[in-house]
Structure formats: C-alpha cells, structure tokens
Structure 1
Amino acid sequence: MPGLLSAMEGFCVIGIVIATGYVAARMRIGGPTAQMVLNRFSFFVSSPCLMFAILSKEKIFEIFHSSIVVAFFSALLVGVVFLILNRLFFHMKAADATIGALNSLYLNSNNIGLPIATYILGNPALVAPILVMQQAVFTPIGLTVLDVTTKGKVSAKEILKQPLHQPLLIGSLLGIVVSAISAKVGYFVVPDCIYDPIDMIGNSAVPMILMAFGMSLHGTKPLQDKSNIPAVFTVAALKNIVMPIIAFLLSYFVMGFRGATLYACVVLAALPTGQNVYNYAARYNVGLSFARDGILFSTLSSPIFIAIIAVLLG
C-alpha cells in the first residue's frame, strides 16, 4: 500500500518537527518565552492566514461537501460522550472539561489531515469541510466557554462578540467569501501580490504550532498529573476508536456513502487530536498537561488505527 506508507512518512515528518521544538527548548534557543511567542503568533497571525489561503482557493461546493454531515455529528457525539463521562467519573471543572471535549472531537485536519487526504485518499480537498466545521462551529463554542469560565462571568454581549475575537474563524470566513466570489466571476479575485504573502505567512503556522508543542514537552513527563491518566486514555480512545466507528455507522447507514467516500469519512475521523487544542489551552492557561498528553497519545495511536481502517476498507 504505497499510499499508506506515504501517510506514515507524513507522521514521521511531524514527529521530526515536534522533536526540533523539544531540542530547541532543551538548548534554550529563543529564551524562556519562545513557546509563548510561537503560540500567540500562530493563534493571531499565521493560522488565520493559513485558513484563508486554503479555503479561498478551494471550490465552494467542495468546502460544503455532504461529508460535512458525518464529520459534524461524529465529532458532536464524541464530545457529548466525553462530557457525560466527565460528569460521571472525572469531575473536572468546566474549563478543563472543555479542553477534554475538544481533545476528543478536534481533528488534526491541517498538518496530518492534508497529507493523509493527499496520499491515502487522493484528494486534499476532503479536509475542507472539516476545516470549516471546526473553525466555524466547534472552535468558537469551545473558546467562548473557555472565555466565560476563565473570566468567571457570563455575558451575552461577550458571547455575541466572541466570533470577532477568533482570528481563525475570521480567516476561514474570509476565505469562504473569496471562494464564493471567485466561483461567481469565474476567476480567482485576489491578486498574487496579496495572496502570496498571506500564503507564505500561513505556511509558518503548522511548524510553529508543532514546535511550540515540542517545547512544551521539555521539562515535563507525559502523564505527570496522575489524576488525569484515566481521562487522557479515555480521550485517546474516543478520538481514535469511537469516532471512526460512529463515522462509519453514520456514513454507511444514514448517508448511504459507499466506496471512496465512505473510506474517506472513516479515515478522516481517525485523525489524531489537532495541536490547536494545546494552542487554545495555552492561550487560556487551563488544562495544559491534559491537552498535551491527550494530543501526544492520540497522535501516537492514530497511525495504528488508520492502518487498520486502510486494511479493512481501503
């Protein structure tokens, strides 16, 4: 399976970038604030540019492919399951539980999803609906909850203003608008002299997020917070096992997908948790070790389950 081997090479590339961040922190390159700077720059600048660059050149009908229904409900159900389990067993506070829910449902659709969609599924545009869903729905909701719980107050005005505080959402929506206008007029409306620097800045988002994640590993040990161990493994199981099963059931029995579309929905559901979740945890300074451990174990186990799905459905 050359496609599967290429995807595993993609995981290797990601691991090397994370390791680079770890080594940089160990050698104290960038000083003690390097991780914070990378997180903030990615959150406010690079990632919005990346979303705009990807979605603005994507066909509008591909962005809103019907597979978004499967991606939305499989993620939603997994997030709800975690919140129920938290209420019954883990008893985390609202902010930490929000990080847990995001850890369970948030797909690494950029730095892992794109190569997997390219090498295994043969169509990188398949991740576009996931990008839209996460940035337009789950991210604003999750960050709104984090905003409210960390500030200790509930304000309808703040909730309504929340989308204006989300650079990722703004970048995504602007990209969708440009895609729609370009489809209407028949050509890409953004001049190269404007698009190229945006694309260049966007290309820095993934390595910065990965290196910041690697830096966070220095000086800490996985599962150092023993109280989070059951929740961490629950998150990894929900993300890499339960979510693909739900995606298969929805795709096959509800949407009637078969063949390549069915395969794509299940493979993409098995993607590991996105490093963005750690970025959000760092932004609000909540659940940092929980987010880091959930992402780490989800990323380590994801290739195994993607390989199993490739054997069963590919």
Structure 2
Amino acid sequence: MAGLISAMEGFCVIGIVILVGYIAARMRIGGPNAQYVLNRFSFFVASPCLMFDILSQESLGVIFDSSIIVAFFSAMAVGVVFLILNHFFFKLKAPDATIGCLNSLYLNSNNIGLPIATYILGNPALVAPILLMQQAVFTPVGLTVLDVTTKGRVRVRDILKQPLHQPLLIGTLLGIIVSLISSKVGYFVIPSFIDDPISMIGDSAVPMILMAFGMSLYGTKPMADKRGRSATITVAVLKNVVMPIAAFILAFFVMGFRGPTLYACVVLAALPTGQNVYNYAARYNVGMTFARDGILLSTVTSPIVIALVAFLLS
C-alpha cells in the first residue's frame, strides 16, 4: 500500500508541473511562442541528452531484458487494433491516424514510468527496455510516417535518411554504444566534466515537455471536438485497458513469467500515453488536439488502472 501511495504522489508531482505550464501560459510568461520553444528545445536538445544519460549508465542486460518482448508485442497489438478501427470507423487522414496509433501504444516511460518503477516495482531500471524499444523502433517509424505524409511524397532516400534526423534515436544509440564500451573496459568511460552537463541538460527534458503540454491546455476545452471524441476515447481504452490485458496474456501464457516479473510487465503496460506524442504532433503541426486530449484522458485514468493491477497482482 505504501508503494501505491508513493506512485500516486508521483502522479501528483507531474500534475503540478503541467499546472505550472498552464498558469505560465495564462499569465503570458514567455510570450506567445513559449510553448513552441519548449517543444523544439526538448525535441532537439534535452530529450536526446536524457536518453543518452539514462542508457549509457545501464548494463546491456538491463537494456535488452526479455520483458521487452512483452512490451513490444502488446504495444504492436493495440497499435494495429487502432489502425483497423480507424480504417472502418474514424477515417482519419494518415498523419492524424499516426498520432492516434502512437497515442495508443506509446508509454510514458520517463516522467511517470520512472516513479512507478521506483515506488511500486522497486527498480527504476525496469523502464530501460521500454525506453529503448520506443526510441529505437516506434519513434523513428512514427516520425518517418509523419515526415512522408506531411510532405506529400514518399522517397526511399528520405526513409533511409530518417534516423539521421531523429535526435532521440541518435541519443539512444550513442548511450547504448557507451554502455557497451564501459562494460568492456570495466568503468564508465565518459569523464564527469562531460557527463555532468549532459545530465543537467537531460534533466530539463521532462519538465519542459510537461510545461509545454500544460501551456497547450490554456484557451482550449479538452474533448470539445465532438468529431474526434470517439477516437480519443478509443485510444485511451486501448492504452489503459487493452494493453495491460495483452501484456498479461503474453507474459503469463507465452513467456511463462510469474511473480514480480509478471507484475512489472502488466504495471508498465498500464502506464499512460507519453507526453512525447504531443511533442511529435507539435513538431509536425498535425493532430495536436487529438494528441493532447488522448494524453490527458489516458493520464487521468491511468492511476485507477494501475491501482487495480496492483490490487489484483501485487
């Protein structure tokens, strides 16, 4: 029970930072372009530093833990389900459908996943495989689709060059390389006078993303778009309900996980949609309302689902 209370406190911390962003926008602190600046700085600078800092200091065994199989296929399942539902019911255009798919499968592994892993599961490193999966697979694929659909053309050269345009992926891969080298030589190879500023910049990523998200709430009414309301509710249900159920089925029946490992897989699958999805939507100026409402609804309902999972499996 103490761990569950601590996790709820983590949700409270996140809510306060989002509220600060909302108040800053309401008071016009930073001017009309503050949200845009925070999004871009986080996307191109702070978030890659955060990924590098986390992964460079994790062992390869933790980064490539077998639980990544459960996380990957449960996420893929809900993403495919959303695309099928969109084809038959929602009829969203390709960029908006991509945002909806990411809303369905993208886990908030940083600013909510870390406190959940720490306070409920007792091991913050459990989010490392999810970080790797999302930044090495889902993010570049999703951003590639956004690139080619918003530009109106599809060229093989652009797709092959896409990883070079993704700072998050570059930071992730560099972190893995440093982790590999460090494991070979027996010590962390990055000197502190270089690692410390990277870590400091990385620490700013989550607050900036959360405050930019809070700023996006000012002057808007969540769930006001009746046309997109059903799609928004659908992505929240897929993320918060269907994905944990899929993770349990895969972990229990396919992978044979039991005890803490099974519990961790299901709890992490119940994490809400990551604010990064709104960051990506803002980056390409598509589906921003859809992304914002989906994240908000998922974040509000996720603590209830996680509490239920903790009650049933802990």
Describe the SS at the equivalent of 2:220. Answer: coil
Q: Which residue pairs with 1:27 in the alignment?
A: 27
> How far apart, CA to CA, are the structure 2 residues paired with 1:249 and 1:143?
29
What is the TM-score of this pair, normalised by structure 1? 1.00
C-alpha separation in 2, matches of 1:219 and 1:192:
43
Q: Equivalent residue for 1:261?
A: 261
Aligned positions of 1:297-308 closer than 5 A: 297-308=297-308
| Matching residue of 2:245 | 245
Q: In the alignment, does 2:18 pair up with 1:18?
A: yes
State whether structure 2 residue 293 is matched by structure 1 residue 293.
yes
In the other structure, the counterpart of 2:56 is 56
Deviation at 1:226, TM superposition (A): 1.1
Q: CA offset at residue 192 of structure 1?
A: 0.2
Q: Deviations over 1:178-234 (max 9, x none)?
A: 001101110000000000000000000000000000000000000121100000000
> Which residue identity does 1:14 align to in structure 2?
I
Alignment partners' CA distance in 2, 1:255 and 1:130: 17
Q: Distance in 2 between matches of 1:105 and 1:124?
A: 21
CA distance in 2, matches of 1:120, 1:158: 42
Instruction: Give the letter aligned to residue 21 of structure 2.
Output: G
- Tell me the residue number matched to 1:184: 184
Q: Output the CA distance in 2 between the equivalents of 1:179 and 1:3.
A: 30
Q: Compute the TM-score of the two structures, normalised by the length of structure 2.
A: 1.00
Q: Distance in 2 between matches of 1:224 and 1:41?
A: 29
Aligned to 1:223: 223
Q: Which amino acid aligns with 1:231?
A: A
Find out whether 1:275 has 2:275 as its counterpart.
yes
Structure-to-structure mapping, 1:1-314, within 5 angstroms: 1-314=1-314
RMSD, aligned CA: 0.3
How many residue pairs get aligned? The number is: 314
Paired with 1:310 and 1:61, the residues of 2 have a C-alpha distance of 26
Query: Which residue identity does 2:34 align to in structure 1?
Result: A
What's the CA shift string for 1:82-118, capped at 9, x where partnerless? 0000001000000000000000000000000000000
Write the distance in 2 (CA, Å) between the matches of 1:223 and 1:107. 21
Name the SS for the 1:311 alignment partner. helix
* Partner SS, residue 28 of structure 1: coil
Q: Gaps spanning 5+ residues in structure 1: where?
A: none
Q: Which amino acid aligns with 1:207?
A: P
Q: Which amino acid aligns with 1:129?
A: P
> Aligned letter for 2:38?
L
Query: Deviation string for 1:120-155 (max 9, x for gaps)?
Result: 000001000000000000000000000000000001
Distance in 2 (CA, whole Å) between partners of 1:307 and 1:287 is 30
Q: For 2:37, what is the secondary structure of its paired residue?
A: helix
Quick one: distance in 1 between partners of 2:196 and 2:2? 32
SS of structure 1 residue aligned to 2:29: coil
- Partner SS for 1:132: helix
**CA separation in 1, counterparts of 2:65 and 2:181?**
18
| Cα deviation digits, residues 44-86 of structure 1 (max 9, x gap) | 0000000000000011110000000000000001000000000
Query: 3-state DSSP class of the match of 2:193?
Result: helix
Letter in 2 for 1:83: L
Unaligned runs of 5+ in 2: none
- CA shift, 1:279, in A, is 0.2
- In 1, distance between residues paired with 2:176 and 2:121? 23
Mapped partners of 1:148, 1:33: distance in 2? 26
Q: Distance in 2 between matches of 1:157 and 1:217?
A: 38
Counterpart residue identity of residue 221, structure 1: K
Q: How far apart are the structure 2 equivalents of 1:233 and 1:225?
A: 12
